[in-house]
Structure 1
Amino acid sequence: MRTVEEGALRACPECGGPLPEHGRFTAWCAGCDWNVDPEGGREEPAGRGERIRRRLAERHGERLLADLTADGVPVRLDAFGVLSFTLALAVHAVTVVLLVCGALLLAGASGFWSVVGGLLALGAAWTLRPRLGRLPRDGIVLRRADAPELYALVDEVGRAVGTRGVDAIVVDAEFNASVSTLGVRRRMLTLGVPLWEVLTPRERVALLGHELGHFVNGDTRHGLVVGSALRSLTVWHDYFQPYPRPGDIFEVVTNLLLLPFRYATGALLTLLDLVALRASQRCEYLADAAAARAGSTGAAVALMDRFLVADPVEIALRREVNARRMNGRGRRGAEAAGAGLWEALAEYAADVPESEYERRRRVGALRGHSVDSTHPPTHLRRQCLLRTAREAGTVVTDGAGEGRIAAELAEARARVARELVRDGLDGT
């Protein structure tokens, strides 16, 4: 990767145009795209299945962009959403059938094999049961009493996008945010401190609008029925894993007997995943629209740009953590070394120049960058927001409220910093 030391290079070797002079970032030419992508090539995630899903995400994303910008916001649940919901109900119907058959076999048991069959059916129903979401055991959970101002902001954003707030907020160390269901009706919002700390107040509102927007637009993947069906099928598919190196005739026969069940569950899992993926693509566009309604179109677009620079920001975080780990010794050392971590990260993010954002936008369009395979490519999401009517944003925070939210998060952000310094990041 070619980088520019301050004042070292001023003209593009291809067209002679000016080059940005930022020593920490790649030198490139905005006029002819010289060195815009020094690593070259498309992003290719590991795993054949994930690569297929990424390509489908890009293909669906382009079609959905055309549909959304041509026809406006569609109905709440499209045909793919209905199909994924139907397939998920079929999975849960199998669970009900197994449960009923097991109960009937045991109730009318007339011999040993009736009891065995009933127990097997009940055991199968138990393993295929819907897995309901739950609070993380090792997460930092903030209740309403812990963070009333933050919950009030989430509630206000929820009203702006047409839904209610959440029942629990979890804080972690990921450069991400997400929503999920707890049990049948309760909702959980997960906020990653590294992401939250590098956002402006308007971008934070847009982030909350995007996440809560998933509860508004019929996002089946985030719902109880489809989400639990995907988890149940994944468990079954894992159960039918063959012995990797069968050592005797029993294991060989077992592999042969498991083969049709593994193919059947694998095919159904793939089908439901792909159908839900198509519906999820559409819902991401609609969640972006919710982000714009809450925080403004400009804030929603800027939020996407933050994810484009996620890699260098996470590298900067890793560097800061490693430096503090070397300086800290023991628990007290880790606590002291964690001080100032988020301020240093926010300062780094604030110093990323506009030229680097623009370079990564162009690279994203070349490579088909997306947050993950459930999201349309970022450049298409950006285009969708910029092609539709501009939103001014309905939720506006003030300095006093932002200060109170910061105070409510102070203990959680300090704890995350201490744990990162004490335990390190993955791979450090």
Structure 2
Amino acid sequence: MTLERCPHCDHDLVTTGTAPVWCPACEWNLGAFDGRRAPRTWGLRAGDRADHWLAFRLNRRLYDSLAGHDVGGRGNPVARIAMLLLAAPLALVPPLVLVAGVYLTVGGVPFGPIIGPVLLIGLISAAWPHRRDQHWQPWIVDRASAPALFGLLDRVAAAAGAPMPHEVRLDHDLNAYVSVRGLRRRRTLCIGLPLWASLEPQERIGLLAHEFGHFVNHDARRGLVVRTAIRVLRNLLDTLAAALRMSIWTLPLVVVVSPVLWLLSTALLVLSGRDSQRAEYLADQIATRVAGSAAMEGLFDGQVVAGGLPAAMTAGHHRHADPHAWQAAAGRLRGAATLDTERTLTLRHQAALLYSHPPTGLRRRMVRSWAVQEPRVAPSEAEWTAIDRDLSPWYAKLAARIRG
């Protein structure tokens, strides 16, 4: 709805609902804080507002520095060194707590047998992996049961210059991700079947190539030291918040310690977040060379509308086991007149220091800023039919899970 004219370019201002107005021509006021859509990160709205203000400007600054250029294999070395110097002491907290807990428990220290086990229980609680209910676990697929899919993965990995994952999983989420875990650095690829089915065939190549790009893009936030440091800070902040809820007598401790933890968190998130977003852009650049520019632009449009897919599938009474139904539902969402507005608003709604990904709208613009690329991997229709046949048992499991 048009409200008034832009003070910068005299274009009509627009808004959605009660959100802050912005200019679609020059993007004036696009970075305004929308309290209804902003993530609640810091426990105080003032903190969330400051987080959004800083993240929006850092996102634009990074985009402006990389648009039209090769992203490069590694980020700013000074920033990476500062990030590791900040993260390393925090990453040492868990082993130090472990040593202190054991010593207090068995070392004959007064009150040690009480304090030591408390420290150990707290450490185990914070470090123990919080797994979802078994009903919602991903399904593991292997080469014997899905030869056509693994043949495609081999081709995409080779084109991306990345190693194959040790394990491939399928999930019910509108997402895809990779992880590298443990001292043995085992690589895992997980593909969300709804997202996969909703994409056009060549866009799926871009999705796979982007995920494989994470195996070679040197993302510091995926490293053991930085990942552990961020987790330690978040656990400490959560513990302080819980202590304050339990007793008002903890207020002095919270007032003294929380600002220090907030400053450390902000510094680490800014440093690691810029490096992580650079790594995401590098994975996008790798994927653009493998899948082609047009496919990557389409992939990002698919991600913009993905949130509306469950409702569209339900409203249309579609069969969740039919991949073509997901694709048709996504096609109707992409054809909506508001798609361009939704792309642009991702710059506002996805601005947060905790977000490791750049806003989807900026990622699409970044692809358009690079030289046009033709696809290096383009499977035939017969190959896609064979892949759908491989995945059909898991589409049936997906439908049963959604019904349940």
TM-score, normalised relative to structure 2: 0.77
User: In 2, are the aligned partners of 1:80 and 1:275 still within 8 Å (CA)?
Assistant: yes
Q: Relative to structure 2, which stretch is displaced further, 110-119 or 56-65?
A: 110-119
Deviations 1:97-154 (A, max 9, x none): 33344455566x345345556555555654565x679798432322324333323322
Matched, 1:187 2:217: no
Larger radius of gyration: 1
User: In 2, are the aligned partners of 1:242 and 1:255 still within 8 Å (CA)?
Assistant: no
Matched, 1:382 2:382: no
User: In 2, are the aligned partners of 1:213 and 1:287 still within 8 Å (CA)?
Assistant: yes
User: In 2, are the aligned partners of 1:103 and 1:118 still within 8 Å (CA)?
Assistant: yes
Which AA in structure 2 matches 1:208? L
In the other structure, the counterpart of 1:402 is: 384
In the other structure, the counterpart of 1:140 is: 138
Mapped to 1, the partners of 2:262 and 2:12 lie a distance apart of 45
Deviations 1:232-264 (A, max 9, x none): 332232222345666xxxx34344445544444
Deviations 1:248-289 (A, max 9, x none): xxx343444455444444443333223222222222211211
Mapped to 2, the partners of 1:52 and 1:171 lie a distance apart of 38
In the other structure, the counterpart of 1:414 is: 396
Matched, 1:281 2:277: yes
User: What secondary structure sits across from 1:317 in the alignment?
Assistant: helix
In the other structure, the counterpart of 1:235 is: 235
Alignment of 1:145-164 (within 5 A): 145-164=144-163
Which AA in structure 2 matches 1:349? A
Alignment of 1:292-303 (within 5 A): 292-303=288-299
Mapped to 2, the partners of 1:199 and 1:393 lie a distance apart of 16
Post-superposition offset of 1:65: 2.2
Which AA in structure 1 matches 2:402? L
Mapped to 2, the partners of 1:245 and 1:89 lie a distance apart of 30
- Summarize the Cα distance change of 1:58–1:165 in structure 2 as closer, same or farther, 3 Å threshold: farther
Mapped to 1, the partners of 2:346 and 2:115 lie a distance apart of 53
User: What secondary structure sits across from 1:205 in the alignment?
Assistant: helix
In the other structure, the counterpart of 2:169 is: 170
Post-superposition offset of 1:393: 2.5
Matched, 1:270 2:249: no
Q: Relative to structure 2, which stretch is displaced further, 227-236 or 70-79?
A: 70-79
Post-superposition offset of 1:344: 2.7
User: In 2, are the aligned partners of 1:139 and 1:170 still within 8 Å (CA)?
Assistant: no
- Summarize the Cα distance change of 1:190–1:311 in structure 2 as closer, same or farther, 3 Å threshold: same
User: What secondary structure sits across from 1:216 in the alignment?
Assistant: coil
In the other structure, the counterpart of 1:391 is: 373
In the other structure, the counterpart of 2:212 is: 212
% same residue: 30
Mapped to 2, the partners of 1:257 and 1:367 lie a distance apart of 38
Which AA in structure 1 matches 2:239? Y
In the other structure, the counterpart of 1:361 is: 340
Q: Name structure 2 gaps, 5 residues minimum.
A: 3-9, 21-29
Mapped to 2, the partners of 1:243 and 1:181 lie a distance apart of 34
